[in-house]
């Protein structure tokens, strides 16, 4: 198939429409539940008050704003794909935003700007009759009449189209991590799978062995590690493929797989990290320097050790706890001496090279 053929085929998988509408119409669609924002996605509403104010200022000054993107399901309901910060800012301002994030944020009070210094302290409705801190009906109408273009991905599009659109539009702007984007779309693909993945990432033995910091937890690093573990076990890695594209594809495949045995895979996941915690504790994925396990969490060790243990689980479970602990400690200590591992686990090694060379040997390196 030529490049032109590939372009034409891919275009057929995406069916779109679009038109302009007022923000007042957008607000009413949200209030009537004809425009929905999934709670998982809503948690990523992160603009600070200054950025919110600058957006409101743009509306008041008539400055054009970027379009929002929605997915239209078979019932005609729109699911927000891109535009979370802008739409949520308007809804918070008008007091129509719902959910836990809305409760956390409370009323939006605007800041002053270079062009509109009198915006400082203003809100949609005054805090009291005498306060004088409300925007007033004239400016409220101006905001509700401001127009924004809505780009619509139709339900007839290929199943992967919504994922692709969400992923491409949301990697940037407000600093979403790759996994936060995956999580948000995983909810719409398969909520049960997302909840299961999230539960796995919070298992005490997994949290301990992967040494997750508060910052890492906030950026969903644990969920990404859990996904990596499942992907390495069930989705073959194609040599040279970008690591995040591989994880994107793996998530889509796993979340869409109706035959995935989550009970058995959950058991394997749980047992793998319980065994690693018993043998190595929070040093499971630290490098052995000849005398002790030191340094930070290493992805290369996670990929080899966790994957290798999971694929040797029956043999490891058959051993006594003491023998198993001694074996895994010796295996972990010996990894730096393995030529293939040492050549493909350094800081300068690309992720594609690391996965291509280490995943095939993980089972053998951890075999009893």
Q: What is the pLDDT of residues 103-156, one digit of tens each?
A: 989 999 998 888 888 888 899 998 888 888 899 999 999 999 999 999 887 765
Q: Are residues 335 and 250 in the same domain?
A: yes
Q: Where are the alpha helices (DSSP H) in 257-312?
A: 262-280, 299-301, 307-311
Check residue 15 and give its pLDDT: 55
- Is residue 168 domain-resident? no
In our burial notation (b when 16+ CB lie closer than 10 A, e otherwise), range 222-247 reads bbbbbbbbbbbeebebeeeeebbebb
Query: Among the three residues 163, 188, 210, which one is the final residue of a domain in this structure?
Result: 163
Domain count, the chain: 2
Q: Are residues 96 and 26 in the same domain?
A: yes
- Is residue 98 domain-resident? yes
Q: What is the pLDDT of residues 184-223, one digit of tens each?
A: 677 767 889 989 998 999 999 999 999 877 666 666 678 8
Query: Among the three residues 110, 138, 163, which one is the final residue of a domain in this structure?
Result: 163
Q: Are residues 349 and 201 in the same domain?
A: yes
**229-232 contact pairs (CB < 8 A, 24+):** 229/269, 229/272, 229/306, 229/307, 229/310, 230/197, 230/254, 230/265, 230/269, 232/303, 232/306, 232/307, 232/359, 232/362
Q: Are residues 341 and 278 in the same domain?
A: yes
Residue 117 · residue 57 · CB < 8 Å: no
Query: Among the three residues 106, 135, 163, which one is the final residue of a domain in this structure?
Result: 163
Q: Are residues 24 and 154 in the same domain?
A: yes
- Is residue 169 domain-resident? no
- Is residue 158 domain-resident? yes
Q: Are residues 107 and 181 in the same domain?
A: no
**pLDDT averaged per 10 residues, the chain (length 368):** 58 64 95 89 81 91 87 86 88 93 90 86 87 90 93 66 58 56 73 91 94 68 90 89 83 90 96 96 91 87 95 95 95 91 84 89 93
**Cα–Cα distances in Å, from 325 out to 92, 207, 317, 330, 334?**
54, 19, 11, 9, 14
**Dihedral, CA atoms, 219, 221, 223, 224, nearest 10 degrees?**
120
- Is residue 170 domain-resident? no
- Is residue 171 domain-resident? no
- Is residue 70 domain-resident? yes
Q: Are residues 42 and 16 in the same domain?
A: yes
CA distance 248 to 232: 13
CA distance 147 to 150: 10
Q: Which residue from 184, 215, 214, 210 is spatially nearest to 197, judged by alpha carbons?
A: 184
Q: Are residues 219 and 148 in the same domain?
A: no
Residue 74 · residue 12 · CB < 8 Å: no
Give the number of C-alpha atoms closer than 13 A to the C-alpha of residue 166, restricted to the C-beta side: 28
Check residue 5 and give its pLDDT: 62
- Range of 88's domain? 3-163
Check residue 172 and give its pLDDT: 46
Q: Are residues 51 and 92 in the same domain?
A: yes
Instruction: Work out the burial of residue 104: count CB atoms within 10 Å of its CB; fewer than 13 is exposed, 13-18 middle, 19 or more buried.
Output: exposed
Q: Are residues 235 and 138 in the same domain?
A: no
Q: Are residues 151 and 196 in the same domain?
A: no
Q: Are residues 229 and 145 in the same domain?
A: no
- Is residue 172 domain-resident? no
């Amino acid at each position: 198939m030529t490049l032109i053929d590939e372009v034409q085929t891919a275009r057929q998988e995406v069916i779109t429409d679009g038109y302009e509408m007022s923000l007042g119409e957008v607000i009413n669609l949200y209030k009537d539940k004809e425009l929905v924002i999934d709670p998982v996605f809503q948690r990523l509403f992160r603009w600070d008050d200054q950025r919110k104010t600058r957006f409101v200022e743009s509306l008041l000054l008539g400055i054009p704003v970027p379009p929002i993107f929605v997915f239209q399901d078979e019932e005609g309901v729109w699911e927000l794909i891109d535009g979370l910060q802008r739409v949520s800012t308007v809804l918070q301002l008008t007091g129509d935003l719902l959910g836990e994030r809305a409760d956390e944020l409370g009323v939006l009070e605007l800041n002053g700007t270079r062009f509109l210094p009198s915006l400082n302290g203003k809100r949609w409705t005054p805090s009291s009759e005498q306060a004088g801190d409300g925007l007033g009906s004239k400016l409220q109408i101006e905001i509700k009449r401001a127009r924004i273009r809505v780009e619509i991905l139709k339900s007839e599009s290929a199943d992967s189209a919504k994922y692709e659109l969400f992923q491409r539009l949301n990697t940037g702007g407000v600093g979403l991590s790759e996994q936060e984007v995956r999580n948000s779309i995983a909810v719409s693909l398969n909520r049960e799978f997302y909840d299961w993945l999230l539960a796995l990432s919070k298992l005490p033995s997994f949290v301990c062995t992967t040494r997750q910091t508060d910052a890492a937890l906030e950026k969903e690093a644990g969920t990404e590690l859990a996904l990596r573990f499942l992907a390495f076990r069930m989705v073959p890695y194609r040599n040279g493929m970008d690591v995040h594209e591989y994880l994107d594809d793996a998530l889509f495949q796993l979340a869409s797989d109706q035959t995935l045995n989550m009970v058995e895979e959950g058991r394997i996941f749980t047992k793998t990290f319980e065994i690693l915690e018993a043998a190595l504790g929070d040093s499971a994925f630290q490098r052995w320097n000849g005398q002790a396990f030191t340094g930070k969490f290493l992805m290369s060790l996670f990929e080899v050790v966790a994957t290798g243990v999971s694929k040797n689980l029956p043999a490891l479970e058959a051993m006594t706890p003491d023998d198993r602990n001694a074996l895994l400690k010796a295996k972990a200590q010996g990894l730096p001496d393995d030529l293939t591992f040492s050549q493909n686990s350094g800081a300068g090694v690309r992720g594609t090279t690391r996965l291509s060379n280490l995943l095939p040997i993980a089972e053998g390196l951890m075999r009893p």
